[in-house]
Amino acid sequence: MGKLTEALRKAADERLERIEKINKLKTHDRLVIKKMGDSKVDPRVITYFDPKSPISEQYKILRTNVLSLNKIKTNKAIVITSAINTEGKTVTTLNLSMTIAQSAQPKVLVIDADMRRGRIARYLGVEHNVGLSDVLQGKATLEEAVFKIDVENLNFIASGPVPENPAELLDSQEMKNFLGDLKRQFDYIIIDTPPIIAVTDSGILGAQVDGVIMVIQAGRTQRGIIKRASELLHQCHAKVLGHVLTNIEYHLPQYIYRYL
């Protein structure tokens, strides 16, 4: 028993030492990779900077799971949402989209449908004032709204200026027609939406697309909140394809990787 006790104590001490090292790091330094050169892309978009990193591999697993659903039913348009704010849905949207675009180079479109506080353009370090709200109100064309960065076959539409009626725009015939047109032009459409408990936007869009992925932050979002979010999506007739856990620590030899 003495040797076993000593081994357990040693393992606990090593774990505490690793945690102390991590806590001394700045938030961005906790990531495996860092921002490179003059790029303005947010460092949390890890798949952009280092597609071969261990964290990028986790997004590739998510990509594989999403694309494998096509064997049963075509899922060309997918909504990404969460139950509440700051669970990592926008970061998940961007990293998933990057990995899809990197596989066999399908034509991918990312739409920032959070017309209340859209952040995709900011995460990419791009100033693009024309967006989804402009298109749905007839103020801009698709060609004017779409922008790209230096990733092959990956396209983006920002949220645009904040409109007076975001939910009504998403529930309009213009939105349905727009989605129909996009499905004919792109292989995959990934749509970032607001949290389902806060507003109804993701439920409205969830009913129009092929499925919804809900992002959940481990250790923060309570089960009751997750259950309520799932109920709201079900009430809107949205099909939940699965869930993504963020803020999970993976202990690998010599490292602890944080999945954001």
pLDDT in tens, 201-212: 999 999 999 999
Please count the CA atoms within 13 angstroms of the CA of 127 that sit on its side-chain side: 0
> Residue 255: pLDDT above 70?
no
Q: Does domain 36-259 have CATH number 3.40.50.300?
A: yes
Tens of pLDDT, residue by residue over 179-203, are 999 999 999 999 999 999 999 999 9
Is the pLDDT reported for residue 29 higher than 50? no
pLDDT band at residue 66, thresholds of 50, 70 and 90?
Answer: confident
Strands 188-192 and 77-82: parallel
Of the pLDDT bands very low, low, confident and very high (cuts 50, 70, 90), residue 4 is: low
Alpha-carbon distance 136 to 169, whole Å? 7
Give the type of residue at 168. E
Alpha carbon distance 181, 174 (integer Å): 11
pLDDT at 72: 55
What is the average pLDDT across 148-168? 94
